[in-house]
Amino acid sequence: MTDVPPWTTAATTLADKVTAGAPAWHDAVSNTPRHQLVPRWWQPIPNSPKREWELVSLPEGSTELLTAAYTDATLVTRVGPLHADQAAKGERGAGDPTSSSTLPGLIVSMADRLRVEPGDRVLDVGTGSGYSAALFAHRFGDEFVTSVDVDPYLVEAARARLASFGRTPHMEALDATGELPDDDYDRIMATVAVRPVPASWLRALRPGGRLVTTIAHTALLITADMGPDGVARGGVQPDPATFMETRQNADYPPKLNDLFVSARVREGDDVRTPDGPIPDLWQEWPLRWLYELDTPGVETRSAVYPDGRRVVWLLAADGSWARAEDAESPTVHQGGPRRLWDNLEGVRRRWDENDRFPLHDMRAEISPEGSRLLAPTGKWDLPI
């Protein structure tokens, strides 16, 4: 009798959990050695003022490694420009995650929504650890899967690790917002967030083909089918999904920390009482995402002070800023060339006028000439 490697039991347990609603993917999950694709990763250091990360490097084949690798959780593999594979023992990462192995349950959910049929050509945007490419290749065949990532190291590492257990999809290092390796795909799934949806994806997607992606700086998961007129139509899915944005460089642009320091204490050029309650944008996430669609690229921050005051900041790269203090006498300070809090209140009023529809009721129309989300009332379109 052939001994069964310990990881297969862990992988099968994971498959039982994450494919309950998508049983066709059970075999792929239970036969994909995720621990080989993610041998090391970063975990955040709690309460670190510099947002530092410590390296997790567990013994090969250990129970601890298998337990972590086959948990339905995201494992961050790259922080700033530093990949966990390339970190020295004891070295710390700092900054924002720039690559990860996404939680398997989300990958399975998105892949199931893609509705791949045997013989379909699949483009996997955002190779990362190679896990999603491994699942597609296991189920549909290596020759039908192409996986791309902007980071050459990620692509080469994933290629070698996939090959070690017999998976050989086509893989390339390139900026997926530009030209693609081919111009003829039946299915495109992105585990990086975009805005706009690149025109090259739409040109490459066959009529009748399907696209699954997320909109940058939101958790809006879009599924759309390509029509004969070159427009992909679909909608927002009920369950949210958050991914890192596509990048062209080794790291993302720095946060607006200098502007934040100023906005924390500065008197605004415009000071007034807010129009309605100050929202908690981390709890009222539909409003936060509608605001992002309407006024893209605004950083949101918040704090609760010991005296109970809750403060929300809005920051933009052009120097615009707003500070809203939810105190006994709520006050809004605004400065810079734009009035960011006015914009937020305008979005809230517009949403109220449209009966505060659930975001998953929005329809999507995506084309190379311009894409939009349409409110179910038919009275509000938002560009994406």
Q: Tell me which residues are annotated as active site.
A: 99
Which structure tokens are listed for 197? 């949806």
CB neighbour list of residue 146: distance below 8 Å, 6 or more residues apart: 121, 122, 123, 124, 169, 170, 171, 172, 181, 182, 185
Contact between residue 26 and residue 138 where contact means Cβ atoms under 8 Å apart? no
What residues form DSSP beta bridges with 322?
A: 314, 334
Sign of torsion over alpha carbons 338, 340, 342, 343:
positive
Tell me, rounded to whole angstroms, the distance of Cα 202 from its chain centroid.
20
Give the integer Cα–Cα distance in Å for 94 and 34.
25
Task: Give me the helix-helix angle, 6-18 and 104-114, nearest 10°.
Answer: 60
Q: Which H or E run contains 175? A: none
Give the integer Cα–Cα distance in Å for 359 and 288.
11
Give the integer Cα–Cα distance in Å for 207 and 351.
34
What DSSP string runs through 295-319?
Answer: STT-EEEEEE-TTS-EEEEEE-TTS
